[in-house]
Structure 1
Amino acid sequence: MTFLWFLFGLAIGLAFLGWYHLHLTRKLKRLIYSLQPDVLRWPLSSTSRLMRAIAAHVTSHEALTTDLETWRQLCHAAPIGVLQVDDENQLLWCNDQAGQLLSIQPPHLANRRLLLELVRSYELDQLIEQTRILQKSCQSNWTFHPVCADPSQLSRQLSRPLRAHSILLGDGCVGVFLESRQETVLLAQQRDRWISDVAHELKTPLTSVRLVAETLQMRLEPPLRDWIDRLLNETIRLSSLVQDLLDLSQLEANPNPNLKLKTVDVTKLIQSAWFSLELLARKKQLQLDYVGPDRLLMQLDESRMHRVLLNLFDNAIKYSPSQQAVRVRVSLVTDNSQTQEQLVQVEIIDAGPGFPTDALPYVFDRFYRADPSRSRSNASLEVSRVYSAGKSNLAVSNTFADDTQAASETPAVPTSSGSGLGLAIVRQIVEAHQGWVQANNHPETQGGWLQVFLPWQSVDDTAT
């Protein structure tokens, strides 16, 4: 009987040992598969396969460590700044270039601090939060003003224009690439200064040419007077272009000019601007389709906003086909941002060909024209044709005389220079009023759709 109990216990022990061996074998296979799945197909014992898997894992780890060190050296030697923050906005590390741009020392892993404690830049902190909220890469441009605890070093801390690109990493971390825009800003300033100087130099001789042309205009008889008329029109066009360059340079040099604010009725201002270009509109049989309040008072610089509306209407009239309507929509809207402020939205819609999709981000840049073939006026083309025809023969033919006589019977209308400065001036003036402007193609007319947004506050209706 004792021997039977011994055999029964031995069987239980062997069963438990077999189960334990099977359990260990399964765990060993899972471990081998996690380290090196291909090792399971080798005709070797589990121990040998485990050793080979560990060796392959060590080799792979060494290769990854080498690659990581290589990328770390590349990041430290990169000409752009690179930094990384964790989910609590603590600075994990940054390269030397980022330290120079932000005037900080690269942190040690054991001494993590909040980025805002090291870099007093609200724009950078906002960019990181925006990346987390939107769950996508973001970009921001701003001027960074370093803060120094030593008062004697304040004069040496120069402001730096920066551009930052953010990317979302794992576990709530965010990576930021920083680049200095100092050279770009300097080049833009030199370009603006050069354009302003050239415009100033051109203003005086153009004025002299205009005075001479106006003096000869009344002393010549047709058809010679028609040549002077065309010369005078082109001189006026060039003078307007020079004045646009001077105005734009002044607005860019002083983005927040001293606006002469007063209470203005936006509805009357729109009607006044359209009336100024009525001859252009009448030539193409265009009508103004206005939808909005009969009276809307707000604080504006009347002369500058009149210039904005002139440029917008000029753009709409230029590209609208004949016998169409230029739509103007004025309404009060609410800003979708956290401020929830009231905005005056002015929409100008034409029925023209619209903007090319790839041109929409650049329509407010100076000298940008989406369609160069439409930038020159018909008068300029006519002058070129007449000049080339008359270059070989100074005598005026009867055909030319008939053409010029027909042209003289047509009422003179102002023509657009097509210089690509009108919408650039619009953006500068609107931004000076703390507003913004955007361009799109209208879904109904497929034409240009220019929207102006201006902050609005209630104004006493009895104010003049």
Structure 2
Amino acid sequence: MVIRPLLPDLLAALPLPTLAVDRAERIVAMNTAAQTLVGTAALDRHYINVLRQPTVVDAVEQCQRDGKPHEAHYLSSDGGNDTRFQVYVSAVSGSDYVLLSFQDITQLTKASQMRRDFVANVSHELRTPLTALMGFIETLRGPARDDAPARDRFLGIMTGEAERMNRLVGDLLSLSRVESEERLRPTQKVDLRYVVQSTLRNLNPLAVEAEVSLVPRMADNDLPMIGDSDQLLQVFTNLIENAIKYGGKGKTVEIDVETTLRDPSLRGPAVRVTVIDHGPGIDPLHIPRLTERFYRADSHRSRALGGTGLGLAIVKHILSRHRGRLKIDSELGKGSRFTVILPLDPAQD
């Protein structure tokens, strides 16, 4: 039989927040983790006054009646953040005590919600072009069967919708790949100056078409670092292409490249590549969420310009793999600044 004087030592050996309730429904013992969760003043108080959540109360009452294990959920708050616990309620054989153990499942719950949101977003993004394609196919089979001008116009729209789905699938595959490699540090020796120059060459036709001038400002010296050149090219392609598209016709896009011996955010030698546009800017309200999957500050304009809502999420994961940072500054009517901060490797110079 477990006697009350032994309970504190027994509970102290358990890693999860755990407390014991006696037949009189009072908390008679708890470990340090449980004190952090419910407070030290909970000892010797009625457990209902401490926990105050019906699902937990029901689980304890059922356990006291039938002696079988039960489970419940307990919601708490940790410094302004909501936390969710799975509560395991079990009777101690040969005694009048019921033990409550709290397992933090906050991150599991968030991950599950993120998966559900991701599936819902992908379904929504694919449903729109698919619905359009199905509608035009039905029209081409029926009323527009012999209408050549309408057929050509509809086929052009269908091509655009198919290309949109193709871009979305491509970005989804790219996002999946960079997420799977995020914890694997790159091993290649890369000259970041060459990567930026390659990006500018690749995007020059797009800039000419949009009547946008690309203005790079960087020194002639090499910028050695350890990285994945293809992924870094993807980062700067995304940011500069966005600046061209959203900056506005006839404007300039500036690319500033600066080095520092000690960057405050990386605490070591670093290079800062800042892409500056002079477009309408972004409401500061949207900035903290811009790197979320499928988040768009201007959904209609983004879709019209062929955006999938995944580009900045891909950038975030690539920079995380390279131990880099992304800083976004913008003001409505005054354009935007996207700054990539990456660690340099002077030993490679």
TM-score range, shorter chain: 0.5 to 0.7
Q: Which residue of 2 aligns with 1:99?
A: 33
Please give the alpha-carbon distance, in whole angstroms, between the structure 1 residues aligned to 2:218 and 2:228: 21
Q: What is the Cα deviation at residue 189 of structure 1?
A: 3.9
Q: Which residue of 1 aligns with 2:295?
A: 368
Cα 1:291–1:182 change in 2 (3 A) is same
Matched, 1:352 2:286: no
Q: Which residue of 1 aligns with 2:206?
A: 280
Cα 1:187–1:298 change in 2 (3 A) is same
Q: Which residue of 1 aligns with 2:308?
A: 419
Structure 1 residue identity aligned to 2:307: G
Residues 322 and 342 in structure 2, CA contact (< 8 A), matched pair in contact too: yes
Please give the alpha-carbon distance, in whole angstroms, between the structure 2 residues aligned to 1:306 and 1:101: 51
Matched position secondary structure for 1:358? coil
Residues 210 and 245 in structure 2, CA contact (< 8 A), matched pair in contact too: no
Please give the alpha-carbon distance, in whole angstroms, between the structure 1 residues aligned to 2:325 and 2:153: 44
Question: Higher helix proportion, which one?
Answer: 1
Structure 2 residue identity aligned to 1:460: Q
Residues 192 and 249 in structure 1, CA contact (< 8 A), matched pair in contact too: no
Aligned residues: 249
Matched position secondary structure for 2:316? helix
Residues 282 and 331 in structure 2, CA contact (< 8 A), matched pair in contact too: no
Structure 1 residue identity aligned to 2:178: L
Matched position secondary structure for 2:286? helix
Q: Which residue of 1 aligns with 2:170?
A: 243
TM-score when scaled to structure 2?
Answer: 0.59
Q: Which residue of 2 aligns with 1:127?
A: none
Cα 1:279–1:160 change in 2 (3 A) is farther
Matched, 1:271 2:205: no
Deviations, residues 413-456 of structure 1 (Å, cap 9, x unaligned):
xxx5222111111111111111110211279x821100111111
Matched, 1:451 2:345: no
Structure 1 residue identity aligned to 2:263: D
Please give the alpha-carbon distance, in whole angstroms, between the structure 1 residues aligned to 2:232 and 2:258: 17
Q: Which residue of 2 aligns with 1:341?
A: 268
Please give the alpha-carbon distance, in whole angstroms, between the structure 1 residues aligned to 2:119 and 2:303: 26
1:429 to 315, 318, 322: 318
Question: Higher strand proportion, which one?
Answer: 2
Please give the alpha-carbon distance, in whole angstroms, between the structure 2 residues aligned to 1:160 and 1:232: 49
Structure 1 residue identity aligned to 2:327: Q
Give 5+ residue unaligned stretches, structure 2.
1-16, 18-28, 44-77, 83-100, 135-147
Matched position secondary structure for 2:219? coil
Q: Which residue of 1 aligns with 2:56?
A: none
Q: What pairs up with 1:54-69 in 2 under 5 angstroms?
A: none
Please give the alpha-carbon distance, in whole angstroms, between the structure 1 residues aligned to 2:299 and 2:33: 45
Structure 2 residue identity aligned to 1:434: R
Please give the alpha-carbon distance, in whole angstroms, between the structure 2 residues aligned to 1:300 and 1:101: 46
Deviations, residues 164-220 of structure 1 (Å, cap 9, x unaligned):
xxxxxxxxxxxxxxxx44311232245457778x79x99xx9xxx9xxxxxxxxxxx
Q: What is the Cα deviation at residue 140 of structure 1?
A: 9.2
Residues 442 and 449 in structure 1, CA contact (< 8 A), matched pair in contact too: no
Cα 1:159–1:297 change in 2 (3 A) is farther
Structure 1 residue identity aligned to 2:259: L
Cα 1:159–1:427 change in 2 (3 A) is farther
TM-score when scaled to structure 1?
Answer: 0.46
Please give the alpha-carbon distance, in whole angstroms, between the structure 2 residues aligned to 1:442 and 1:97: 51
Q: What is the Cα deviation at residue 284 of structure 1?
A: 2.0
Cα 1:158–1:139 change in 2 (3 A) is closer
Q: What is the Cα deviation at residue 240 of structure 1?
A: 1.5
Q: Which residue of 1 aligns with 2:246?
A: 319
Please give the alpha-carbon distance, in whole angstroms, between the structure 2 residues aligned to 1:286 and 1:185: 41
Q: What is the Cα deviation at residue 311 of structure 1?
A: 0.7
Structure 2 residue identity aligned to 1:454: L
Matched position secondary structure for 1:251? helix
Structure 2 residue identity aligned to 1:275: R
Q: What is the Cα deviation at residue 459 of structure 1?
A: 4.4
Q: What pairs up with 1:116-265 in 2 under 5 angstroms?
A: 160=104, 180-192=106-118, 228=155, 230-253=157-180, 255-257=182-184, 259=186, 261-265=187-191
Residues 181 and 321 in structure 2, CA contact (< 8 A), matched pair in contact too: no
More divergent stretch after superposition (292-301 vs 362-371):
292-301
Please give the alpha-carbon distance, in whole angstroms, between the structure 1 residues aligned to 2:230 and 2:243: 20
More divergent stretch after superposition (305-314 vs 226-235):
226-235
Please give the alpha-carbon distance, in whole angstroms, between the structure 2 residues aligned to 1:320 and 1:228: 30
Please give the alpha-carbon distance, in whole angstroms, between the structure 2 residues aligned to 1:100 and 1:318: 54
Q: What is the Cα deviation at residue 262 of structure 1?
A: 2.0
Deviations, residues 322-380 of structure 1 (Å, cap 9, x unaligned):
2221111111132226x731111110000001110111111111111111231222xxx
Structure 1 residue identity aligned to 2:109: E
Q: What is the Cα deviation at residue 248 of structure 1?
A: 1.8
Please give the alpha-carbon distance, in whole angstroms, between the structure 1 residues aligned to 2:285 and 2:38: 40
Q: What is the Cα deviation at residue 228 of structure 1?
A: 4.4
2:227 to 289, 300, 303: 300
Structure 2 residue identity aligned to 1:99: A
Q: Which residue of 1 aligns with 2:256?
A: 329
